[in-house]
Amino acid sequence: MKGLFKPKPRTPMELVLQTRDLLIFLDQNTETRERKRDEKNRNPDACAQLAQEFFKHDTFRLLVAGLPKLDLGARQNATHVIANLQRQLVGERLIASEYLENNLDLMDILLPGYEDGDIALTYGAISRECIRHQIVARYVLGSEYMKKCFTYIQIPNFDIASDAQATFKVKQKTPA
């Protein structure tokens, strides 16, 4: 009775044949990939409007302030949302750059985040997205955080130190 519900172990030959059949199916079935690709196509007008509303209502600040209260998965999702909104063009403008120019104090919240091991990587990822804007990079270079960056790079936690180094080396976007 012990092995009644256990599946019969497959032989190496059965595993290889099943894998082969699945790969052939995957290769021949392009409809699924094309349908998923079409589903991912975004509506540029809706995306632009979403970005405008996000920054207009200061949701960026609220999201940054709420990061410590979110669980890991929600923080990762928030990072993706912020990264996408940072790159969103509205007409010919990067409105995130304009928003950050008027809210540079957000960097005073993000950059010291390396001192909190639980959310350091989230703050680092968001900081990198922000520093890609020249106005923010200029602010950071002239701030006390530039000196602290060298301290963050030497943190014993390898992941955090590597992330801090990646933030230090980030390249800026050209102004819109």
- Decide if pLDDT at 124 tops 60: yes
Would you say residue 90 lies in a domain?
yes
pLDDT tens digits for range 85-94:
988 888 888 9
Element (H, E) at 90: strand 89-90
Q: Which residues pair with 94 in a beta bridge?
A: 89
Please give the residue range of the domain that contains residue 113.
Answer: 42-168
Q: Taking all residues of the chain, what is their mean pLDDT, rounded to a whole number?
A: 83
Residue 31 lies inside a defined structural domain of this protein: no
Distance CA(55)–CA(68), nearest Å, equals 20
Average pLDDT, stretch 129-152? 86
Q: Which pLDDT value is given to residue 174?
A: 46
The CATH number linked to 46 is 1.25.10.10
- Give domain status of residue 29, yes or no: no
What pLDDT shows up at residue 80? 93
Q: Which amino acid is at 2?
A: K
Residue 27 lies in a domain: no
pLDDT at 162 over 80: yes
Q: For the chain, how many structural domains are there in total?
A: 1
**3-state helix, strand and coil shares in percent for the chain, rounded to the nearest 5:** 70, 5, 25
pLDDT tens digits for 28-59?
776 665 666 666 666 788 888 888 989 999 99
Instruction: Please say if the pLDDT value at position 157 is more than 80.
Output: yes
For position 175, what pLDDT does the model report?
46
Torsion of CA 81, 86, 89, 92, to 10 degrees: 170
Looking at the domain assignment, is residue 122 inside a domain? yes
Residue 53 lies inside a defined structural domain of this protein = yes
**Cα gap 14→158, rounded to integer Å:** 42
pLDDT in tens, 67-103: 999 999 999 999 999 999 988 888 888 999 999 999 9
Domain assignment of residue 94, yes or no: yes
